[in-house]
Each structure stands twice: as C-alpha cells, then as structure tokens.
C-alpha cells in the first residue's frame, strides 16, 4: 500500500473498530496493535460509578496506551505496516467527558508530556454509528465489564467522538458511517470499505466521508 506504514482505526464502543483492525492487519500482512480494555481493573466499577472511578480508569488507559505506543516507536515502522485499533489522541475524549476541572488540569499536563514523544498514524479510519446500533452490538458481545454500561453514556460518547473527529487535523481521516454495514459477515461491505481506503491513499486526500448501506 503506497506510503502507508501506520494505520489506525477509531470509533466509539461497539462500532466494530477492533474487528476491522484485525481484518485489515491480516489483509495487509501488518503488525497488529490492540487496546486491551479488559485489563483495566477500574473499568467495570467505572461503568457502575463514573464519578468515583473516572480518574483511576482514565490514568490507567493513558499509561497503558502510552506504553504500547512507545514500543511501537522503538520498532522499525518502515519494515512492516502497523494497524492499531486506537489513536493516542482519543484519550482526550474520555478525559473531557468524565473528569472534573481539577482532574482535567492535571491530566492535560501528563497527556502533553506523553503525546509529544509518540509517532502519529499516516491515516485514521473513523467509524461512526448511531447509539442504538452501538448499544445493540455491545449487548450482543456480552462482555462482563460492560454489563452495567448505560445507554445515556453510549449516546454521550458517540456524540463526543463525532465532535472530536470533526475538528481532528493531526492526520488524514477517512470517516465511515457504519450503522448499516456488517464488514465482519458481509464481504461486499468490507471490500467496499477497503476500496475507499485505497482510493483515499492513492488520491492523497486529507479527509473523505463515505456511507455504506448493505440493507
């Protein structure tokens, strides 16, 4: 794939970013980097009591993502394509949603110090979907730590992601409306998305929006 060495896939919980990341990595023969939310010991309690456990949850994720990205930086990005199921910058979405103003002030100091040391993707795929679709997909996968996840939180998170990526300018961005597609079980949906990705890379666009609906 022309001049693409580091690709990231993003989107709110339940949108399918990890599934797409795995598929693209296999297709491209790429190094696979996955977030590991189940390893966060504060996550299930955060969903039950966000006000009490937000800062601990956020700090654990920030440092965990940082460690992964440092390891990535130390590897040779020019030897093999890397596909990752998050961008480090998205950590700010959750921080500004869940932390108090005092906590945000401390968080921002730490974030800026860490972010300056990390590589940026060559391109980001941002998957969007409606809150109803996201909630349905979360319920279907039946993860223990997501049992107490509330619809209102998913709705707020979906909007926060859209607001963040509307202003995002760190890298070229492919925005995909994923509410009506199933790229895991429908090869046509996946092939269409991949074709749009290749086209964006070839034409060197900074931003591209697509809607795929297989219904």
Does the pLDDT of residue 24 top 70, yes or no? yes
Task: Determine the average pLDDT of the residues in 61-81.
Answer: 81
Query: Can you name the residues that pair with 160 across neighbouring β-strands?
Result: none
Which pLDDT value is given to residue 2?
55
State the pLDDT confidence band at 203, using cuts at 50, 70 and 90.
Answer: confident
Which pLDDT value is given to residue 213?
62
Q: Which of 184, 196, 169 is nearest to 14 (CA)?
A: 184
State the pLDDT confidence band at 86, using cuts at 50, 70 and 90.
Answer: very high
Which pLDDT value is given to residue 147?
75
Residue with tokens 């996946």: 190
Task: Determine the average pLDDT of the residues in 31-46.
Answer: 87
pLDDT digits (tens, 9 = 90+) for 155-173: 999 999 999 999 999 899 9
Q: How many angstroms separate the CA atoms of 59 and 57, rounded?
A: 6
Task: Determine the average pLDDT of the residues in 4-31.
Answer: 92
What pTM does this model have? 0.89
Mean confidence (pLDDT) of the chain:
88
State the pLDDT confidence band at 76, using cuts at 50, 70 and 90.
Answer: low
% pLDDT > 70, the chain: 95
Task: Determine the average pLDDT of the residues in 73-79.
Answer: 66
Which pLDDT value is given to residue 7?
94
List all residues 6 or more positions away from 211 whose beta carbon is below 8 Å from its beta carbon: 176, 177, 180
The arrangement of strands across the sheet holding 173-177 comes to 31-33, 82-84, 6-10, 123-128, 173-177, 207-211
Which pLDDT value is given to residue 77?
56
Q: Which domains does the chain have, with CATH numbers?
A: 6-211 (3.40.50.300)
Does the pLDDT of residue 212 top 90, yes or no? no
């Amino acid at each position: 794939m022309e001049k693409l060495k580091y690709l990231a896939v993003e989107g709110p919980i339940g949108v399918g970013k990890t599934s797409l990341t795995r598929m693209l990595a296999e297709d491209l023969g790429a190094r696979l980097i996955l977030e590991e939310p189940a390893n966060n010991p504060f996550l299930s309690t955060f969903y039950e009591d966000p006000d009490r456990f937000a800062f601990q949850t956020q700090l654990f994720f920030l440092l965990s993502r940082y460690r992964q990205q440092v390891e990535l930086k130390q590897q040779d990005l020019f030897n093999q394509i890397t596909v990752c199921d998050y961008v480090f910058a998205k950590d700010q979405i959750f921080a500004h949603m869940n932390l108090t103003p005092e906590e945000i002030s401390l968080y921002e100091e730490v974030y800026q110090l860490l972010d300056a040391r990390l590589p940026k993707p060559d391109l980001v795929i941002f998957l969007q979907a409606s809150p109803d679709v996201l909630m349905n997909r979360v319920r279907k996968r039946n993860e223990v730590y997501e049992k107490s996840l509330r619809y209102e939180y998913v709705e707020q998170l979906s909007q926060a992601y859209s607001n963040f990526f509307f202003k995002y300018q760190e890298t070229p961005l492919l925005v995909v409306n994923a509410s009506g597609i199933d790229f895991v079980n429908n090869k046509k949906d996946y092939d269409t998305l991949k074709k749009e990705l290749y086209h964006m890379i070839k034409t060197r666009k900074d931003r591209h929006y697509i809607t795929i609906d297989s219904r």
